[in-house]
Structure 1
Amino acid sequence: MEEIMNKNTMTGMMKKGWWKDAVVYQIYPKSFRDTNGDGIGDLPGIIQKLPYLKELGVNVLWLCPVYCSPMDDGGYDISDYYHIHPMFGTDADMDALIEKADEMGMKVLMDLVVNHTSDEHAWFQEALNHPESKYADYYIFRETEDGNPPNNWRSYFGGSAWERVGDSSRFYLHAFSKKQPDLNWENEELREEIYKMINYWLDKGLGGFRIDAICNIKKKMEYGIFPPDGEDGLRYIGDWILNQPGIEDFLRELNEKTFKPHNSMTVAEANVPPALLDRFIGEDGFFSMVFDFSYTDIDVPDTGEWFKPRHFTIKELREKIFKSQEHVQNMGWGAVYLENHDQNRSVNKYLPDEDIHYYSKTMLASLFLFLRGTPFIYQGQEIGMENIRMESMEDYDDLATHGQYARALKAGLSETEAFDIVVKRSRDNSRTPMQWNQSRNAGFSDADKTWIKVNKNYTAINAEQEENDKSSVLNFYRGLIRLRQDSPYSHILVHGKFVPYDAENDNVIAYERVSDDLGILTFHNFQDQNAEITIPEGYAEKIAGNYTGRCPENNRYCLRPYECIAFYKDR
């Protein structure tokens, strides 16, 4: 990214498509660094750790929501878009973060949540208290004659997607929590309010947004009882609100009135069918990039019921990654990632518990940092943070986790079986405090009690300890980021074409990055045993790997357990 002199000149000075050269670091502010001793992370804590992030090599910071919110769903239920929640600091702290990050060559992204608001937002309170006001049409209300919900849609978090207003026959739609009423994007005045808010932040110098749940904003409203797809008698709401015809008009208008004039980086949480990718991320697409869930949700059934985990093979994982890479590069630009605030830790998802160690963790790092697209690193991923095993359901904060646990019990699982699944897949696995050092609370906070438990393994896995170890997961990440950002291979790794490579082993994922006459070939061994591979002629120079020593012999190479290695050739 080009260095910006100050936030007021940012828009005109950054080159088009600057986000292709970026490496993004996602921050869950509540769990990053607490500076006031209340057990909750804050904006001054992020400012304090900017040198650490600069040293890591990232140049874009994505913050999960820090707006005013009742925090029913971790801040994704916004009650005031224009102000910072006091638990995170002040509006001035947010301004300072944007400015100080700019000075260090980093841009800040905020989360943009405009499918819904909190039920405590002033608009919704007006809609409840004055049903005849304009604000009632900012949301989706329906009256029924029989006093029952308008249909049997299931919200993403479980339970009916309709909530009764008091003891009336009036209901409002919520695709997520009942405290997150869906906005009515058919209302032009509402849309203009949203655009005004977005431009307020972009005018401050914000680099852009990660856009939450955006593919739900167009609804196909139908009523009645539909054939249920679960034991609860309800039907998955996504069939009526995901990527519905007409959503393109909303997204085009959104881009034209906000993101495009500011040259913003936008990454949408949008599960886009391949046929629509060009509209979303093409030359004149609605967004800079979208996330692809096909390989990060590989362990989740299509219905989203992660309490019914599906098993997968490394061959299937390889196929999904390859398919994603090829589709996206034919249409535009992508965002690549292994974990985020909605995922469990990637090392626990993709690796057997008994094989989680330095080699397997660095192999995963190599797998995704060599892919084509802007890489997103989630806080703690760079030090190899792992899932936490809570002691009981009372320790879990996440709404979706409690919803899935209840549905698992309803489906006939025992409490022990349901809890074991929660331990494996809960979103709280990624929301535990960042592990900075071996001191109390992992150096995250001086509080007697943190908002959520600290993982007990912090004495073995923490940033300070890995800083001083040249052979640590942290320093491996730093090396790969430097390779991508500032090396003779940077152009290939950023702009080169993705080309699948057949490693002739179902537990090895290999691919090439090719640009003009240059190429990089990388291998990733997903098993605790050796694997013989063939190195094509010309690929003689090793540029990265998590083992030392050993060179190819006669175009053959024996990958060691969980080894990753990358070769370069000048074609």
Structure 2
Amino acid sequence: MKWWQKATVYQIYPRSFQDSNGDGIGDINGIIQRLDYLQDLGIELIWLTPMYVSPGRDNGYDIADYYQIDPIFGDLADFERLLKEAHQRGIKIMMDMVVNHTSDQHRWFQESLKGKDNPYHDYYLWRDPVDGHEPNNWLSKFSGSAWEYVPALNQYYLHLYEKRMPDLNWRNPQLREEIYQMMQFWADLGIDGLRLDVINNISKDKDFPNDTFETPSDDGRNFYTNGPHVHEYIHEMYERVFGPNNFVTVGELSSTPVSEAIRYTNPEREELSMAFTFHHVKVDYTGGKKWTLGQYRLSDLKRILSQWQTEMAAGGGWNALFWSNHDQPRAISRFLDDGQYRDQSAKLLALVEFGLQGTPYIYQGEEIAMKNANFTSIDQYQDAESINAYHQMLADGISEDLAIKILQQKSRENCRIPMQWDMTANHGFTTGMPWLQPVVADDYSVATKAQAPDSVFAFYQQLVALRKTEPVLIEGQYQLLAPEDEAVYTYQRQLGDKKVRVIANFTDQTQQRANAAVKAVMMSNYPDQQLTTDQITLRPYEAVMLEIE
């Protein structure tokens, strides 16, 4: 068993975590100030979203210099101090790495613009016009064409994301060599692993065929997601960097079937440690489309989670477990109740997640039940994806009011409002003006909510500790019970003679269900769970973890 299979990861979005100098943007010294808090929570690994030099077109995922910390966060000396301070507390650091694309301000791309004979031109994916138009019909994830025309070269470059984020050409061995040397630079500084952004998109079909657009997902991804050489490239990364440095790695694998995720994460293949997949957080995509006001069925959510639990285990793969992250709305607002039953809902989500097989991730603020931003005007958004989607919705005839409601439900800006530390100005995040302003006053903060013995924070503490001592939660076989139940999610984990059952009421109505003989109540999000021998009564959003006879 690997250490990271029992550990809990805490994701930090640095610009929204803690500001130390009053400029309104979180920074490295702010993270250092809060390391004791994370140690108290029981965290063993921190995932940091990008802090490299960047023009900020996509909040740091557009990297202009892989070797330097952006001055808004600090400098390399600050980062080395963070590594030292974290390691002294038994906390490892995993950096976010983006190698599918760079910023158009990166030196490589600036060189590639100088001409087709420049050696850096082949670091990117340039193509000549076809009949005076784009090379194919692929769409950008940020709306519009995935191709940008450069008149001086009479060529288009590919950008699967924002137009100022050109895709790299992984077929070029010299590019790959530069990537591996850069990763080794950070390994030599002392980082413990890498989270690899959109890593399953790095290998494109060399013929760049048109997509069919027969389904909402036919936007080009059929020819670059889990592409022809992606496993070869990642195995090469493992041989050059991951293996020699004993890295923990997690790949962001959107639009990836279980069979492929197993290939990425089965240790015998020497690729990645674990997989971030997103099928469960697309359960409220109406007709497969994100920008809709969607509802979800609990049976669908259970079916998706259960498929990944059973098939990944059978194939020797490993899941990264999460409900929210920097690219997803807050799950408490999305799936449950962030009002009257806020604490119970937050604990329910935690209990369901930590009972599953995989490595659990806590996104900053989940441990104090932070909720969605609930912005009421497009002017409050800074996220390029959300702004582009808003204008596309208006162009498609959707009303402004409905477009805002959809953003309130689906925008990734929802989870980027600053961390709520206390009830002073700006929740203790900064003494200045926050880079992103929360809209609704909220009395939830670390200072007001984390100290009580029955707090959401304390509940997470107990779950983090429990996973370190209960092998059944790491290695136990998963079984879904009552799959068609639209109100209650019940599953069981078993290792040898030990059986653990998780039962969670996803509704605001009291539910009664038949129950097995219970040996002990391991965890409950209500303080006074009462069990009879033949049935269990679940109050609104009540969840329990039981040891079964």
Q: TM-score, normalised by structure 1?
A: 0.92
Which of the residues 124, 129, 139 maps onto 1:139?
Answer: 124
Match of 2:262 in 1: 278
Deviation of the 1:146 alpha carbon: 4.2
Deviation of the 1:471 alpha carbon: 2.2
In 2: Cα distance, 1:18 partner to 1:431 partner: 29
Q: Is the 8 A contact 2:338 2:371 kept in 1?
A: no
Q: Does 1:220 align with 2:205?
A: yes
Q: Helix, strand or coil for the counterpart of 1:62? A: strand
Match of 1:128 in 2: 113
- Superposed CA deviations along residues 231-261 of structure 1, whole A, max 9, x for unmatched, are 9xx9612122111222221121111111011
Q: Helix, strand or coil for the counterpart of 1:457? A: coil
Q: Does 1:533 align with 2:517?
A: no
Q: Does 1:320 align with 2:267?
A: no
Match of 1:10 in 2: none
Deviation of the 1:294 alpha carbon: 1.1
Deviation of the 1:142 alpha carbon: 1.2
Q: Is the 8 A contact 1:442 1:454 kept in 2?
A: no
Report the residue type matching 2:534 in the other structure: N
- Correspondences of 1:288-303 after superposition (within 5 Å): 288-300=273-285
Match of 1:50 in 2: 35
In 1: Cα distance, 2:44 partner to 2:424 partner: 28
In 2: Cα distance, 1:224 partner to 1:260 partner: 35
Q: Does 1:509 align with 2:489?
A: yes
- Superposed CA deviations along residues 428-465 of structure 1, whole A, max 9, x for unmatched, are 11110000000000100000x2111035333x110111
Q: Does 1:195 align with 2:175?
A: no
Deviation of the 1:145 alpha carbon: 5.9
Deviation of the 1:533 alpha carbon: 1.9
Gapped runs of 5+ residues in structure 1? Answer: 1-15
Q: Does 1:463 align with 2:446?
A: yes
Q: Is the 8 A contact 1:432 1:455 kept in 2?
A: no
Gapped runs of 5+ residues in structure 2? Answer: none
- Correspondences of 1:32-43 after superposition (within 5 Å): 32-43=17-28
Which of the residues 329, 332, 357 maps onto 2:342?
Answer: 357
Which of the residues 475, 478, 489 maps onto 1:495?
Answer: 475
Match of 1:84 in 2: 69
- Correspondences of 1:61-210 after superposition (within 5 Å): 61-144=46-129, 146-166=131-151, 168-210=153-195
Report the residue type matching 2:194 in the other structure: F
In 2: Cα distance, 1:211 partner to 1:184 partner: 16
Match of 1:549 in 2: 528
In 1: Cα distance, 2:100 partner to 2:529 partner: 53
Q: Is the 8 A contact 1:344 1:429 kept in 2?
A: yes
Aligned length: 546
Match of 1:383 in 2: 368
Report the residue type matching 1:466 in the other structure: K
Sort the Cα spacing of 1:501 and 1:223 in 2 relative to 1 into closer, same or farther, 3 A: closer
In 2: Cα distance, 1:366 partner to 1:340 partner: 17
Deviation of the 1:308 alpha carbon: 2.4
In 1: Cα distance, 2:334 partner to 2:425 partner: 28
In 1: Cα distance, 2:510 partner to 2:435 partner: 43
Q: Is the 8 A contact 1:147 1:169 kept in 2?
A: no
Which of the residues 314, 332, 354 maps onto 1:347?
Answer: 332
Report the residue type matching 1:257 in the other structure: R
Q: Helix, strand or coil for the counterpart of 2:26? A: coil
- Superposed CA deviations along residues 26-72 of structure 1, whole A, max 9, x for unmatched, are 00000000001100000000000000000011110000000111111
Match of 1:415 in 2: 400
Deviation of the 1:552 alpha carbon: 2.0
Q: Give the RMSD, CA atoms, in angstroms.
A: 2.0
Report the residue type matching 2:353 in the other structure: F
